[in-house]
Structure 1
């Protein structure tokens, strides 16, 4: 079993839209090459707090990252920090808030947009600071990092679905088509990742509402998909919490950690 992990975060993707619009991913599920779960985001259902939750297993209320304008480094162990400390290679193609949480804050585009520094938690990074940064460019950034640096843990974080949701709302063709576009892009890269044996998690931080926002307790804001691909997973019908994703990835990476994880989700 390959113990390398790729985490794909499709920012702002609502569960129902994922089930209706991600034809390739749901085709993998239909043909038993992936398993789809649903999970609820922690509160508040906002991006930066939930990046921290997914990558540390710590809820926003506990982490203190309670809204998007809390600009500082994380105070907790993350998948990145644990992997880097235990001799693993880390990489991310992601929005600049991820760099601020785990590398350096505040983000300096000239210094941080392209990062290659073994001493940092995210050793190799291509970060962006535009919500409309094309998902196609993002996927090419991620594949460059994967091929060039062979990271043990790679985060791929896309913003176009969330951007469309803020501009047009949940029940809009633009939002749904942005999800369809992300699915098509993933279909260009996932076959290679699967063939090479990566353990792959594809999820979202939060959903979207018809007010063109998120942050509250509505089901459409909180219910998000989780697709698991790889022989490291049990693919059983189990309940998985957003706070357990960090521990799940640490287990797959073979890291020593004290994070909670859904044991039944592992093979």
Structure 2
């Protein structure tokens, strides 16, 4: 089969691009996304489960808090608050953690530990990919379902001060904002003063529902001087005084309205021992997360150690607290301590809404979702929940109702934990099979190009496709059968989802046929090269024999004999 050099090169380039694309698809799996909810149209909330009884809870529960203040300190790793530095430099925060009405957590961030992906994780509950590291330099508008968009759609008035990354992600969501640039890392005073200067005025006003403050100074000190710098203590003390100002203002307002507010202290990422971030060290992944509200009950002498949670859990918790739908792409679970003081029916309602959202996301992103243990646990929890509702509507206040409610709650929490882990695993793991298929395609084309360089450089490139040769056609069909059998075995036994296994059998078979044909073409080129090499060696040997014979005949001739004698005498 004859191919022009241009056609041959074009075919190789196309196959190379397909192989590289398949490899990258396995190396950078697509994030878990929900396709059932758009920015302009949200699905109605799932109704309360019922078992032979009608339920009147078909709408979202009312908000738990009147106002929410999010104080995000860039680079706030967990030991800055819960360690010795927190005790020394943040006394008011330490008091709230140990004795106040608060819940403390160590929130684990995921890679990449840079600002923009972490803001997306906090507000969407999803796990951004490594492509967001590039976008961190120029953040585009966030179109994915998130808490800020839901709050704006519900008529919430949102005010923001701080890192201008928020303004780029949410360009038309804030009724008032003042962005500060994070480019000048040597500035750790003005970037925070530009945020704090608005506080006194805003806290006295009542025309807002959500206030977001993003402080950059701590992170800038870490970049310049590291986490052991004396400036870290001064900055933590400054942040502690600001937290006290916000908290006391919210408490004084609650005395008038009698409706609880929520103050969230959190970090987007941590800080390494050299002061940087972006990698996967424990210091960069673990951040502080404190939820403060008078709605949280705390018994005297109750000492609570910070629990380890995922950073993505905040989105679902904020949505429940504001009475909003949970973002469709969120893989996080509700931080249950924030609602454990509510009646049992409300607790189960919150957990059910979160479990429904995660189960829908699992169905949209995992083909074999029915085999997932989290989905089975969710279905079991929903059945038990329906039985509890039936007993509750029958006004059965016996111990059976209490024990069943506790069992349903535990079942929901286990289901949420398993569902969240299954969805997070879809992003965190590599698709080895797709990477392997793409690598084989790329290597075969490279080998074929290297073996065909002499022909490809000529005006006519001759590529022998060996399907008509008995030997190579047998090799082609054997390879095709073996690869097809391996494909079936891998796709039927794989526990996790695979992009290449998700393709149609016709498409996968075409790829297997292409790989088999390329392998045969490489074998044909190798055989031809060896055959040409043997022919060339034989030809050279014949030429050398002929040259020796001609030289011997020339030496014996009378005409050249005198010249040879002359060269022996006078020659060099």
If the TM-score is normalised by the length of the shorter chain, which range does it land in? Answer: 0.7 to 0.9
Distance change in 2, residues 1:204/1:61 (3 Å): same
Q: Does 1:250 align with 2:319?
A: yes
The equivalent residue for 2:80 is 17
Q: CA deviation at 1:221?
A: 0.9
The DSSP-based 3-state class of the residue aligned with 1:71 is coil
Aligned residues: 250
Distance change in 2, residues 1:46/1:81 (3 Å): same
Preserved contact between residue 37 and residue 225 of structure 1 (Cα < 8 Å) = yes
Deviations 1:180-223 (A, max 9, x none): 22112222232112333321110000111232211111111111
Q: CA deviation at 1:146?
A: 4.3
Partner residue of 1:167 out of 224, 227, 238? 224
> How is 1:1-267 mapped onto 2 (pairs within 5 angstroms)?
2-19=65-82, 20-21=85-86, 22-61=90-129, 64-67=131-134, 68-103=136-171, 120-129=172-181, 132=187, 133-148=190-205, 150-196=207-253, 197-233=260-296, 239-257=308-326, 258=328, 259=330, 260-267=332-339
**Take 2:110 and 2:79, find their aligned partners in 1: how far apart are those partners?**
18
Preserved contact between residue 120 and residue 128 of structure 2 (Cα < 8 Å) = yes
The DSSP-based 3-state class of the residue aligned with 1:60 is coil
**Take 2:338 and 2:102, find their aligned partners in 1: how far apart are those partners?**
13
**Take 1:240 and 1:218, find their aligned partners in 2: how far apart are those partners?**
17
Deviations 1:125-162 (A, max 9, x none): 12112553342441232443444463211111111111
RMSD (Å) for aligned C-alpha atoms = 2.3
**Take 1:23 and 1:47, find their aligned partners in 2: how far apart are those partners?**
27
Which sections of structure 2, spanning at least 5 residues, go unmatched? 1-63, 254-259, 299-303, 340-572
Preserved contact between residue 267 and residue 287 of structure 2 (Cα < 8 Å) = yes
Distance change in 2, residues 1:192/1:129 (3 Å): same
**Greater RCO, CA 8 A, separation 6+:** 1
**Take 2:310 and 2:119, find their aligned partners in 1: how far apart are those partners?**
14
Q: CA deviation at 1:264?
A: 1.2
- Structure-1-length-normalised TM-score: 0.84
Which sections of structure 1, spanning at least 5 residues, go unmatched? 104-119
Q: Which has the higher strand share?
A: 1
Preserved contact between residue 238 and residue 265 of structure 1 (Cα < 8 Å) = no
Preserved contact between residue 45 and residue 217 of structure 1 (Cα < 8 Å) = yes
Preserved contact between residue 163 and residue 216 of structure 2 (Cα < 8 Å) = yes
**Take 2:127 and 2:195, find their aligned partners in 1: how far apart are those partners?**
27
Preserved contact between residue 125 and residue 145 of structure 1 (Cα < 8 Å) = no
For structure 1, which segment, 65-74 or 198-207, has the greater mean C-alpha deviation from structure 2 after superposition? 65-74
Preserved contact between residue 75 and residue 218 of structure 2 (Cα < 8 Å) = yes
Distance change in 2, residues 1:50/1:263 (3 Å): closer
The equivalent residue for 1:112 is none
Deviations 1:204-263 (A, max 9, x none): 001112322111111111111111111455778755321111111111111123444325
Preserved contact between residue 207 and residue 214 of structure 1 (Cα < 8 Å) = yes
The equivalent residue for 1:107 is none
